[in-house]
Amino acid sequence: MSVLPGGESPSAAASGTPAWVVTFADLMSLLLAFFVLLFSFSEIDKQKFKELAGSLRDAFGVQAEVRASQTPIGNEIIAREFSPAMTTPTALNEVRQSSTTIVSRVGADDEALKRQLREQERQRIREQIARDAAAVRELLADEIDAGLVETIDDGERRVIVRILERGSFPSGSDALRPEFLPVLEKIGRTLATMDGMILVSGHTDDVPIRTQRFRSNWELSAARAVTVMQTVQQASGLPDARFRLEGYGDTHPVVPNDSAAARARNRRVEIVLERRPAAGPDTDEPVDEVGG
């Protein structure tokens, strides 16, 4: 019997192995036998395997190889094939037609709205002119009763104060009668409270005039208009831009010049307060001439 160094025998050394090693070896053996049995009992389902493989292929974008016997052609939204033949109308033409229809309808609605706004502006002007005419008539009630002036409301946008020659100017003269000066000053103060353009126009009868001062009825009518305009402007304090001066001679008679009374009626100066619509260049109203 051999003896190990230190005086121990070989059997004594082997008996020193830990006890858990034996248990661990038995466990590994059992596990090996268990997996061998599982493998021997297992069976692959081919149908399920194919479905699983197809799902994975689609999910990860695996493309299948497709053999083509013809040349590939292009596919896109507008056309299905490319050829030198005439193409069919595309969706772009339909969009253009729809847009044209919409624009036409919008344009028609816009014109209708403009007409409505113009009519509202005309109505506002008519109402304001009616108020202006009433104020002028009330102011000149005595002169109207005396037959020196006349007031006319055209019902649209003008108030006309007609100054007759009998009370304002001597025959063939542009010098204002002193007693008529307060009347013009009263008119000027009234016009200062109103908006709009002020047109002063002179008119004569058809009897020709030729003196050292006036060569024709044109000059006489214009000179009388200047005299009235200056007097009204001084009384009102309005700027020159508010006034417009016109001389018509005998071209705009109120009544035919067939009698002395008719010719006296045609010799006059008219002060016209004109209110224009506030629509500006969009308005379609014509500009009327001043006259009888």
Other C-beta atoms closer than 10 Å to the C-beta of 198 total 21
- Tens-binned pLDDT, residue by residue, of the chain (292 aa): 444 455 555 544 456 678 898 899 999 999 999 888 887 777 666 777 777 777 767 666 655 555 656 665 555 555 555 555 565 555 544 444 445 445 555 566 778 888 888 888 888 888 888 888 888 888 888 888 888 888 887 766 788 888 887 778 888 888 888 888 888 898 888 888 888 889 999 999 888 888 888 889 899 999 999 999 999 999 989 898 999 999 999 899 989 989 988 888 888 899 998 877 654 444 445 444 444 4
For tokens 């508010």, name the residue: 242
Burial zone of 18 (CB within 10 Å; 0-12 exposed, 13-18 middle, 19+ buried): exposed
CA 17 from centroid of its chain's CA atoms: 104
pLDDT of residue 229: 92
pTM of the prediction? Answer: 0.54
Residue 137: φ, ψ to 5°: -65, -40
Across 236-260, b (16+ Cβ under 10 Å) vs e yields bebeeeebbbbbbbbebbbeebeee
- DSSP helix/strand/coil, 127: helix
Tell me 193's DSSP state. T
Say what the pLDDT of residue 68 is: 59
**Burial of residue 186 (number of CB atoms within 10 Å: 0-12, 13-18, 19+):** middle
- Identify the structural domains of the chain with CATH numbers, from first to last: 117-277 (3.30.1330.60)
Sign of the CA dihedral with 201 first, then 204, 210, and 211 last? negative
Task: Report d(CA 80, CA 181) in Å as an integer.
Answer: 92
What letters, b where the CB count within 10 A reaches 16 and e where it falls short, cover 68-78? eeeeeeeeeee
Q: What is the DSSP letter of 255?
A: S
